[in-house]
Structure 1
């Protein structure tokens, strides 16, 4: 999964009722209500600007790539609860800010969407272009910059030195192994839509229900960007996919392979 799906989404518990994150959120909301407070929250996208609120609350800082960092790095889940009583800020952190001359995150961005410190162009971010936007990658001028990414991107976070040891594969997340072990480019492109609908979409839900073909077009793009002759029969096969979006993308990928002269098989045939 490394380099294909952003880490944040692998253990995304916002809608996963069996995850510890979801259970903790529900328990904390109940605790606040039991204290006599009126409580409101939005687990999907936050009831306020979460990174800004986290910074104001003193639990972390925002770095040059616009991600929120605590002492443990940026691979954190933020959630805000709106209550009807004021609170006193008592948390202080000793997190060092980014070095003035450091631009590792900007240099690592494959599409140069980090245009300046604390400034990002959303429309050119790989995370956006593999989820919310980029619905027809044949016409997306940056599609050849996506590397292997199929859903999201970690490039600017992985580039931050103190993040390199922040992600630890030490905890089990419900059902992750069951679907992530079948998330190679080939398996996605050839996947049954019933599996994409019932297993993948509830986990990677920025791609909405009814648009599950998007996982396949993203994977086809990854195949093109990282072409291997073994992909050729797979790409040809999905030229008969039930969705025209996949058929059109597969045919375009074949045209690009021929145009670039990279379609020869391993034995030269």
Structure 2
């Protein structure tokens, strides 16, 4: 079956699902696996050991899914967020755009599972499995092969009319692709804005990131305290970072001034007071309370430790002296004590 044949069958469902564009790619011979293996061998994945453990399956998906032949690959825009939460716990803390709503690992996968049900009705003899980020697949590789975009110098998939602010999901299937889609050209050209703006220098060369320096990694995936040299560079980012995407000329063109490229946000008095209250709440709340309040959001990924760590770093970098009592209370904390001492010194300087 060709993409041209299946597209009319899927079109009635895609608009309802909120998908902006999609494609189809064979699962064999990942284009970027050698690069990925080298990246792992250099240790640039940091604490994310699962990325190394999943490498054999990423090289050969059929080793896990025996009947898998192809992947339907979908792009789901997250700006504006399609699953915005009315009672999102944070209004002023700087949170990555993708995380300002319900966790897409749940709702995006649920939407694709509905699509799997429709596909099963059309092709009852075939298998269809939905995934969003949590499966051992080289998603950006598939997205490139499916013409969802090219891989930019910021390591994100960029589409000339959609930008890069979208989630990638895929349906792995036993259906065989008989016609491949021509990939989009790389339109980054000589631009280096993403490399230039990165506060920590995580983009060590075009299309190559040292995750150990990335603010998103440091505030989300890492379970450690950042080394001192990186703490100030995190700035006011409480959870994640968007700078290498928001500065991209393709996103700037598409979203027409809606995206911030400030390394530190300018806050009015009301927003500054709101931020102080939010950080105070994070620093003093119990782990159980934080788990409950952030359940179903991407921020739950950081856990109580990560949220308190991030709150102290932001408080120190924004010089919020009114939070000294809350930070003082964490001086003897087994894991956060050293960071609390550092934050207090910063606030007193």
String of CA shifts for 1:182-239, please: whole Å, max 9, x gaps.
Answer: 88323322333222111215422432xxx41220111101111111222223322444
Distance 1:92 1:59 in 2: 10
More helix by share: 2
Q: Which residue of 1 is the match for residue 117 of structure 2? A: 30
Unaligned runs of at least 5 residues, structure 1: 170-180, 262-269
Alignment of 1:113-192 (within 5 A): 113-133=202-222, 135-137=224-226, 139-164=227-252, 166=255, 184-192=278-286
The TM-score normalised by the length of structure 1 is: 0.76
Residue 327 of structure 2 corresponds to residue 235 of structure 1: yes
Distance 1:44 1:56 in 2: 17
1:106 to 195, 205, 208: 195
Residue 151 of structure 2 corresponds to residue 62 of structure 1: yes
1:219 to 311, 325, 330: 311
String of CA shifts for 1:70-114, please: whole Å, max 9, x gaps.
Answer: 2221110111121112124576687771122x1110111000111
Residue 174 of structure 2 corresponds to residue 77 of structure 1: no
User: What is the CA-CA distance between 1:2 and the residue it aligns to?
Assistant: 6.8
User: What is the CA-CA distance between 1:162 and the residue it aligns to?
Assistant: 2.9
Contact 2:291–2:304 under 8 Å retained in 1: yes
Residue 301 of structure 2 corresponds to residue 206 of structure 1: yes
Contact 1:46–1:80 under 8 Å retained in 2: no
Distance 2:145 2:180 in 1: 11
- What RMSD in Å do the two structures reach over aligned CA positions? 2.9
Figure out how many residues of one structure are paired with residues of the other and give that number.
Answer: 238
Distance 2:199 2:185 in 1: 27
Contact 1:150–1:218 under 8 Å retained in 2: yes
Contact 2:217–2:240 under 8 Å retained in 1: yes
Q: Which residue of 2 is the match for residue 97 of structure 1? A: 187
Contact 1:59–1:92 under 8 Å retained in 2: no
Unaligned runs of at least 5 residues, structure 2: 1-90, 260-273
Q: Which residue of 1 is the match for residue 56 of structure 2? A: none
Distance 1:157 1:7 in 2: 10
User: What is the CA-CA distance between 1:143 and the residue it aligns to?
Assistant: 1.4
Distance 2:146 2:175 in 1: 15
Distance 1:82 1:51 in 2: 14
More strand by share: 2
**Residue 221 of structure 2: SS of its match in structure 1?**
coil
Greater shift after overlay, 151-160 or 87-96? 87-96
Distance 1:88 1:185 in 2: 54
| CA 160–3 in structure 1, closer or farther in 2 if over 3 Å, else same | farther
Distance 1:9 1:196 in 2: 16
| CA 190–9 in structure 1, closer or farther in 2 if over 3 Å, else same | same
